[in-house]
Structure 1
C-alpha cells in the first residue's frame, strides 16, 4: 500500500501547522518522520489517519483520495498506535485488543472464534498474552504501549502508523518493538524521536522543521552533521560502526 500527501496544509487553533507537505510512503516500506518538538510530525500523522482534516491539499491511499473512503473502510486500511491513549472505563487487555476487530464487524455483531484467534495471536506476538485478564489501567506505560500495538495488529491492515511508539519503553522493548514492526511486511509510517532508532530501522526518513519537509531520503543521505545542527541546534558526529550500522553521537553543550 502507498500513502501519499499532496501540498498538505493543516490548521490548529487558527495557526497553520503544516505548510504544503509532499510526502510518500511506498508499499511495504518503513518510513520515519523525524524533527524537533513542534515541527509538525504528529499533525501530519493525524491528517493521514483522519483525526485532523487538512485545510488544503489531500491524502491519497493507493492513489484514491482518503476523503472518498468511508471511515470504516479507511480503518481497514490504516491502523494506528497513537502517542496518547486515554480510557474512561475499565477494560481488560483482551477487551482492548478486541477493539482492533471493530472495523471488520457489522453493528452489534458479536466477536467470533476467528476474532479471538486473531486477538490471541496478536497478544502472543507482542508478548502480552499473559496479561489478557489484567485491567489496562493497571499496566505500566510500556505494557500499555505493547497492548496497543497488539490492538493495531489485530486490525489486520496493510498500513500501520506509529506516533513516537517507543516513548514509554525501556531499551529492550524499544528494539523488540521495532524488530517486530520491521518484520510485518506492510507499509509503516512512524514518527520517531530517537535518531539512532530511525537510522537503524527506516528505509526512508522525512525531516520536518516548522511545518515543512526540509530533507528526505535514505538515512545515510539525510542524517548528516550539518542537518542535525541546522534542525536540532546541537552538534553531533555521524559515523558507521564496526557492524555497519549508522550511528549518531551527540555532544553536551558544555563541550561544544
Structure 2
C-alpha cells in the first residue's frame, strides 16, 4: 500500500498546526515521524486516519484521494494503534479485538466462525490468547496496548498507523509491541518520541518542527548530533554500538562538557 500527502494544511482554534506537508510512504516501509511536542505529528496522522480533515491539500491512498473512500473501506486499508483507549463499558479482551472485524461486516451481521478464528489468530500473534476472556480494563497498560494491536491486526489491513502508542509503556512492552509490528511486513507510519527506538525500527524518518517537515531520510541521515540540537534544542552524542545500531546519548545541562 502506498500513501502520499500533498500540501496538507490544518488550522485548529485559529492556529495553523500543519503548514504544507508533503510526504510519500512506500509499500511495506516503516516510516517514523519525530519532532518535539506540538510539532504536528499526531495532527498529521489524524488526517491520515480521518479523525481530522485537512483544510487544504490531499492525501492519496494507492492513487485515490482518501476522502473518496467510504469510511468503512478506508478502515479496511488503514488500522490505528494509539496511546489512549478508554471504554465506558466492561468489554472482554475478545470483544475488543472483535471490533476490528466491523469494517468487513454488513449492518447487523453477526460474528461468524471465520471472525472468531481471525480474533484468535491475532491474539496468538501478540501473545495474549490466554487473556481472551479477561476484562480489558483489568489489564496493565502494556497488555492493553497489545490487545489494541490485535484489534488493528483483526482489520486485516496493509497499513498500520501508530499514533504515539508506546509513550506510557516501559521499555519491555515498547520493544514487544514494535517487534510484532516490524515482523508483520506491512506499511507502517508511526509517531515516535524515542530516537533510539526510531533508529532501531524505522526504514525512513520524517522530522517535523512547528508544523513543517524539516528533514527526511534514513535514520543515519536524520539522527545526527547537529540535527538533534536543531530539532530539540539539546546536546547529544550519536554513535553506533557493537551491533551497528545508532545510539543517542543526551547531555543533561548540569553535566559539564
TM over 0.5: yes
Q: Hey, what's the Cα distance between the residues in 2 that align with 1:230 and 1:189?
A: 23
Map of 2:108 onto structure 1 = 108
Helix, strand or coil at the partner of 2:37 = coil
Q: How does 1:58-69 map to 2 (within 5 A)?
A: 58-69=58-69
C-alpha displacement of 1:15: 1.4
Helix, strand or coil at the partner of 2:254 = helix
Residue 240 of structure 1 pairs with residue 257 of structure 2? no
Map of 2:132 onto structure 1 = 132
Q: Hey, what's the Cα distance between the residues in 2 that align with 1:11 and 1:141?
A: 32
Check conservation: 1:32, 1:190, Cα contact below 8 A.
yes
Check conservation: 2:81, 2:165, Cα contact below 8 A.
yes
Q: Hey, what's the Cα distance between the residues in 1 that align with 2:117 and 2:11?
A: 41
Check conservation: 2:83, 2:166, Cα contact below 8 A.
no
Q: Hey, what's the Cα distance between the residues in 1 that align with 2:143 and 2:11?
A: 33
C-alpha displacement of 1:222: 0.4
Q: Hey, what's the Cα distance between the residues in 2 that align with 1:237 and 1:47?
A: 34
Map of 1:182 onto structure 2 = 182
Map of 1:97 onto structure 2 = 97
Q: Hey, what's the Cα distance between the residues in 1 that align with 2:71 and 2:159?
A: 15
Q: Hey, what's the Cα distance between the residues in 2 that align with 1:163 and 1:182?
A: 15
Map of 1:19 onto structure 2 = 19
Q: Hey, what's the Cα distance between the residues in 2 that align with 1:144 and 1:176?
A: 13
C-alpha displacement of 1:80: 0.3
C-alpha displacement of 1:168: 2.8
Q: How does 1:67-78 map to 2 (within 5 A)?
A: 67-78=67-78
Check conservation: 1:145, 1:168, Cα contact below 8 A.
no
Give RMSD over aligned pairs. Answer: 0.9
Unaligned runs of 5+ in 2: none
C-alpha displacement of 1:14: 2.2
Map of 1:123 onto structure 2 = 123
Map of 1:34 onto structure 2 = 34
Aligned residues: 256
Check conservation: 1:75, 1:103, Cα contact below 8 A.
yes
Residue 84 of structure 1 pairs with residue 84 of structure 2? yes
Output the TM-score relative to the length of structure 1: 0.98
Residues 171-204 of structure 1: per-residue CA shift (max 9 Å, x gap): 2221121111111111000100100000011000
Q: Hey, what's the Cα distance between the residues in 1 that align with 2:254 and 2:62?
A: 48
Map of 1:163 onto structure 2 = 163
